[in-house]
Amino acid sequence: MSEELPHKLHKTLLGTLNVKYLCPKCKRTLENPLAEAGREDACPNCSAVFKVPGKTVQMQHERQRQSAKAKAENDSKSKREQELEKQQSEAIRLEEEREEKRRVAEAIAAMKQIEQENARQFLQKNHSGYVYRVEQFHSNFQDCTTNLSKFINHFSEQGWEYVEYIDVKFWDPAGCLASLLGQPGIARTVHLVTFKRPALRDENGDIIPFKQ
């Protein structure tokens, strides 16, 4: 390329590059498209044969074009990679967010479980350890002591320990018919006997309530 003729580049109105140089023989100014650099040509004036200069520049241009193309491809690729990375990090962020919510929910559930367990242990520790039942006692006047003894012993034999005896008075309002007949109601007394026995516990240690 060292034997290239001295030349200048000239941009045409179409945006393409021309190479401008002097005929090595008659020194007339000549111009060719840069694409023709390196080809043999003849001077239209003196017919001298020479190689159109500009090959070095043309090759530089080609290298720049290739390099620009490669850079554009690379940029586009890195843009895609960036987009992919962004999507991935967003997915990771969402996953972490879900994981965090799950951890919080688990912690709350664990706390509730601990609270329930504490409440259960408190009840178990502070429970009297007895269950109670109340039964109504009926008797006539003459046999009341005998009957009450029998009544208490009957439950005692079943494991129910006597606690107390009370009379409860209440006003039994008249039914529809009775109130139509002008009867306001009747005072009643019930005799209630309370028994207790040690509470039975289930497999969790909880008291099994007594069912009448």
Tokens of 67: 């390099």
Residue 22 in contact with Zn ion, rule: CB under 5 A: no
Tokens of 127: 């429970």
Residue 94 in contact with Zn ion, rule: CB under 5 A: no
The DSSP symbol for 205 reads S
- The string of DSSP letters for 142-186 reads TTHHHHHHHHHHHHHHTTPEEEEEEEEEEEEE--HHHHHTT--EE
User: Closest CB to Zn ion among 48 and 70?
Assistant: 48
Asked if 188 and 170 touch (Cβ cutoff 8 Å), the reply is: yes
Size of the site for Zn ion (CB under 5 A): 7
Residue 46 in contact with Zn ion, rule: CB under 5 A: yes
Which among 69, 56, 70 has a CA at the least distance from the CA of 21? 56
User: Closest CB to Zn ion among 25 and 80?
Assistant: 25
CA-to-CA distance for 135 and 191, rounded, in angstroms?
8
| Alpha carbon distances (Å) from 7 to 41, 85, 125, 133, 161 | 15, 50, 107, 122, 127
Out of 10, 11, 25, 39, point to the residue binding Zn ion (CB under 5 A): 25
User: Closest CB to Zn ion among 43 and 174?
Assistant: 43
User: Closest CB to Zn ion among 47 and 179?
Assistant: 47
User: Closest CB to Zn ion among 46 and 168?
Assistant: 46
Residue 183 in contact with Zn ion, rule: CB under 5 A: no
| Choices 26-34, 50-58, 127-135, 203-211 (CB under 5 A): range interacting with Zn ion | 26-34
User: Closest CB to Zn ion among 7 and 196?
Assistant: 7
Residue 42 in contact with Zn ion, rule: CB under 5 A: no
Residue 131 in contact with Zn ion, rule: CB under 5 A: no
The DSSP symbol for 134 reads E
The DSSP symbol for 54 reads -
Which amino acid is residue 25, in one-letter code? K
Q: How far is the CB of 44 from Zn ion (least distance, A)?
A: 8
Q: How far is the CB of 10 from Zn ion (least distance, A)?
A: 19
Residue 123 in contact with Zn ion, rule: CB under 5 A: no
Q: Give contact residues for Zn ion (rule: CB under 5 A).
A: 23, 25-26, 43, 45-46, 48
